[in-house]
């Protein structure tokens, strides 16, 4: 079904955060750029089903340079520099994207950034400095809106990447009080926090394994058992104290010299306009924000506790169910490594201004959804599910804004860079407080599947039973599956099974369980093809584009990009593939493979919207008859498809158990005698007939080459 292309004009009277003064109205002043764009045509997305979408992630700076006039700080030879890609470049390549078949673009953040820090540049867009103005490295507001409008003309939606957790390196902690940014070394176990706080605790605080809350509140300890563990682990190395990026202090970063502490550290905003490291300017006049109301130069707008430091040894620290743990306190209150200052999103002013900012971007650019960065770094719904917090407030306002603008099916999915499926899932559940019920995000970027399936199973040969178990946990199906319990899979449902809001109310009318965003790689992890091979990549793509949920393809995957971790996974699309393909090649084997799978999704509705029925999964080891086989049906009331994969790397495998284990073969819900045709990208037109087993059920026996798959649908010839 084609998405709606209806356009409507929306009055600013519907757009509650904007005001126009009586004086300007009386003088009939020409509208600002922002006002003009807000009044422009709008795509309603009426009747849209997000399960029909294939998302294509674009890092704008690395895609295509369409306008050399905005080439500021461009250093094409430096991986950490700007390379010149811009919104015009994306416009120029819409033909390419349309040929590939993707129908949603996820573009990197658009707001103004701090341009440079420590020799690296903000080409990625995640160092926000001004939430209300566009990044001039990519174009102006007109060009951004042109990109969205031209994508919409092709029935391609546009999702904006947003950051609400932190700002860029706008200020530093003046720890030693000398009024300038410094850094120095302090040695071994004598770090300032450990030496002057934790060592003074009584033995009960060090040795009893107390939880965070018990240590602080019940016993009056200054440090929890986890913090003592950290102090012990530090004994073998030096700490480099960076006033731009000091380590986390649960009291808030303190002023300190060799003579001791001097109270909370002051923060200082440098003035470096040459790289846009300046205090954020006040918002445009059409934003209702009085001059005397606090702004981003207010210290209380930040948590000021220093940098999260324990991700590299999380296993050393405890997680106490239902209690605030050491790891999660740092994740939600600490600065992001690299000096990205953590916003105090519990502050009502901060909540309000961030909501106004992204209400503004929906209105001015007509975006169709948000990909939300650093989701797990705000709120702890696993501890306080009925605390509205930032996400309950923010998502409610975004849905209300979409509704005011006449925009349906506004989609919000969050990035929680974590393999803990329970933690990801809790951000999809609603809550209720004294103000009433509230929702959270519609979906998440499915990191647990990235690690458990794309890495453990497809790349490294793990049991395909893991795929079924992850699905069971997500949906709460087959709670008595003992194999899944042995693998440690929770019973579930881990993800919420009802929509947060109807399409007409600015939601998507679909449950988070139905719309998880599936991916094999992105800008924060190495390319799937790094330390892998094209055949395995194709097997992963086959699974990605036929499995339940919304597939997301990172730009360049279709060109076999194979870069390692950041920044090598942020290649220049225009420079072509390491496999020798020219930039934006449409003839190579992987491009055509992806294109054909996307077309199959479009041709066969069950591959997009069908319920999942797993018909074969195995725990058996390599060498077994069915090793690597995974098969599932996608079922709609009047239509279905059967997908059969062999994910084994080095052997052909069969859809039957070993003879020693009964030899039973793959059952299917297709009627006995049905003729099924392979319509997958590797098909030669082969057909299969559903056979009858001894119990009268239909079954299929087939042998698949290594790293291959079939899409089977009824043949009517």
Give the pLDDT confidence score for residue 323 in this predicted structure: 57
Helix (H) or strand (E) holding 597: helix 589-603
Name residue 641's beta-bridge partners.
634
Helix (H) or strand (E) holding 264: strand 260-264
Going by pLDDT thresholds of 50, 70 and 90, the confidence category of residue 225 is confident
Q: Please, what is the average pLDDT of the chain?
A: 91
Q: Is 394 helix (H, G, I), strand (E, B) or coil?
A: helix
Global confidence as pTM:
0.91
Range 177-186 average pLDDT:
86
Instruction: Tell whether the model's pLDDT for residue 23 goes beyond 50.
Output: no
CA–CA separation, 191 vs 234, rounded Å? 8
Give the pLDDT confidence score for residue 531 in this predicted structure: 94
* 693 or 196, higher pLDDT: 693
Q: Which CATH class is domain 12-167+348-597?
A: alpha beta
Q: Which CATH number fits domain 609-714: 3.90.1580.10, 3.40.50.300, 2.40.50.140, 2.60.40.1180?
A: 2.60.40.1180
Q: Count the alpha carbons within 13 Å of 606 in the hemisphere toward its beta carbon.
A: 19
Nearest to 520 by CA among 496, 545, 488: 545
Q: Which two tokens stand for residue 657?
A: 């158990």
CA–CA separation, 400 vs 218, rounded Å? 42
Give the pLDDT confidence score for residue 196 in this predicted structure: 60
Range 447-474 average pLDDT:
97
Q: What is the dihedral of CA 292, 297, 300, 305, to 10 degrees?
A: 180
Give the pLDDT confidence score for residue 25 in this predicted structure: 44
Going by pLDDT thresholds of 50, 70 and 90, the confidence category of residue 20 is very low
* 10 or 446, higher pLDDT: 446
Give me the residue spans of the domains in the chain: 12-167+348-597, 172-268+305-333, 609-714
Helix (H) or strand (E) holding 132: strand 128-134
602-621 tens-digit pLDDT: 999 999 999 999 999 999 99
Range 442-468 average pLDDT:
97
CA–CA separation, 439 vs 490, rounded Å? 23
546-584 tens-digit pLDDT: 999 999 999 999 999 999 999 999 999 999 999 999 999
Instruction: Tell whether the model's pLDDT for residue 676 goes beyond 60.
Output: yes
Instruction: Tell whether the model's pLDDT for residue 116 goes beyond 50.
Output: yes
CA–CA distance from 575 to each of 7, 83, 582, 679 (Å)? 37, 11, 7, 33
Give the pLDDT confidence score for residue 26 in this predicted structure: 42
Give the pLDDT confidence score for residue 224 in this predicted structure: 74
Instruction: Tell whether the model's pLDDT for residue 401 goes beyond 60.
Output: yes
* 20 or 469, higher pLDDT: 469
575-592 tens-digit pLDDT: 999 999 999 999 999 999
Q: Give me the count of residues in the chain.
A: 717
Range 520-527 average pLDDT:
97
Instruction: Tell whether the model's pLDDT for residue 694 goes beyond 60.
Output: yes
Could you tell me if 471 and 464 are in contact, meaning their C-beta atoms sit under 8 angstroms apart?
A: no
CA–CA separation, 6 vs 27, rounded Å? 34
């Amino acid at each position: 079904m084609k998405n709606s292309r209806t356009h409507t004009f929306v009055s600013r009277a519907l757009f509650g955060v904007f005001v126009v003064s009586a004086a300007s109205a009386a003088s009939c002043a020409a509208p600002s750029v922002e006002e003009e764009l807000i009044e422009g045509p709008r795509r309603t997305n009426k009747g849209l089903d997000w399960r029909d979408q294939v998302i294509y992630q674009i890092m704008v700076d690395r895609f295509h340079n369409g306008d050399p006039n905005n080439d500021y700080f461009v250093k094409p030879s430096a991986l950490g520099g700007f390379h010149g890609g811009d919104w015009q470049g994306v416009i120029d390549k819409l033909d390419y994207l349309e040929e590939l078949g993707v129908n949603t673009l996820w573009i990197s953040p658009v707001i103004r950034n701090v341009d440079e820090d420590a020799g690296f540049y903000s080409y990625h867009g995640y160092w926000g400095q001004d939430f209300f103005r566009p990044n001039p490295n990519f174009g102006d507001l007109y060009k951004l809106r042109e990109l969205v409008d031209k994508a919409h003309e092709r029935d391609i939606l546009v999702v904006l990447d947003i950051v609400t957790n932190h700002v860029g390196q706008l200020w530093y902690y003046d720890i030693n009080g000398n009024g300038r940014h410094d850094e120095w070394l302090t040695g071994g176990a004598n770090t300032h926090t450990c030496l002057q706080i934790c060592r003074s605790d009584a033995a009960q605080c060090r040795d009893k394994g107390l939880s965070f809350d018990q240590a602080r509140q019940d016993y009056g300890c200054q440090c929890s058992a986890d913090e003592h563990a950290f102090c012990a682990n530090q004994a073998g190395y030096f700490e480099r104290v960076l006033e731009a990026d000091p380590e986390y202090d649960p009291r808030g970063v303190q002023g300190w010299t060799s003579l001791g502490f001097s109270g909370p550290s002051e923060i200082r905003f440098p003035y470096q306009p040459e790289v846009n490291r300046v205090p954020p300017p006040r918002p445009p006049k059409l934003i209702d924000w009085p001059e005397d109301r606090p702004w981003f130069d207010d210290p209380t707008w930040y948590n000021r506790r220093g940098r999260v430091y324990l991700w590299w040894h999380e296993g050393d620290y405890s997680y106490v169910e239902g209690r605030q743990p050491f790891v999660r306190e740092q994740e939600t209150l600490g600065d992001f490594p690299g000096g990205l200052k953590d916003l105090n999103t519990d502050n009502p002013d901060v909540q309000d201004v961030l909501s106004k900012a992204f209400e503004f971007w929906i209105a001015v650019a007509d975006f169709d959804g948000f990909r939300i960065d650093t989701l797990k770094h705000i709120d702890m719904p696993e501890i306080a599910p009925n605390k509205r917090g930032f996400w309950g407030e923010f998502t409610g306002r975004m849905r209300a804004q979409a509704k005011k603008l006449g925009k349906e099916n506004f989609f919000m999915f969050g990035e929680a860079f974590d393999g803990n499926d329970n933690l990801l899932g809790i951000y999809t559940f609603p809550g209720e407080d004294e103000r009433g019920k509230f929702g959270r995000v519609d979906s998440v970027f499915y990191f647990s599947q990235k690690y458990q399936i794309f890495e453990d199973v497809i790349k490294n040969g793990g049991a395909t039973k893991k795929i079924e178990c992850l699905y069971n946990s997500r949906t709460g199906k087959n709670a008595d599956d003992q194999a899944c319990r042995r693998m440690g899979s929770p019973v579930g449902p881990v993800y919420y099974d009802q929509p947060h809001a109807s399409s007409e109310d600015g939601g998507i009318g679909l449950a988070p369980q139905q719309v998880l965003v599936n991916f094999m790689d992105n800008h924060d992890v190495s390319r799937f093809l790094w330390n892998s091979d094209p055949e395995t990549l194709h097997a992963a793509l086959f699974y990605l584009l036929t499995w339940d949920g919304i597939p997301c393809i990172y730009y360049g995957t279709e060109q076999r990009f194979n870069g390692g971790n950041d920044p090598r996974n942020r290649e220049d699309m225009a420079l072509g593939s390491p496999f020798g393909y020219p930039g934006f090649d449409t003839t190579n084997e992987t491009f055509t493979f992806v294109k054909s799978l996307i077309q199959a999704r479009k041709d066969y509705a069950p591959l997009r919207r069908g319920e999942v029925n797993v018909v074969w999964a195995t725990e058996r080891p390599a060498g077994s008859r069915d090793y690597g086989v995974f098969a599932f049906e996608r079922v709609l009331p009047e239509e279905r498809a059967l997908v059969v994969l062999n994910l084994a790397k080095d052997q052909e495998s069969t859809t039957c158990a070993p003879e020693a284990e009964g030899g039973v073969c793959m059952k299917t819900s297709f009627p006995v005698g049905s003729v099924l045709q392979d319509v997958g990208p590797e098909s030669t037109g082969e057909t299969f007939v559903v056979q009858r087993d001894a119990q009268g059920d239909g079954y299929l026996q087939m042998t698949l080459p290594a790293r291959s798959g079939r899409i089977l649908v009824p043949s009517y010839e």
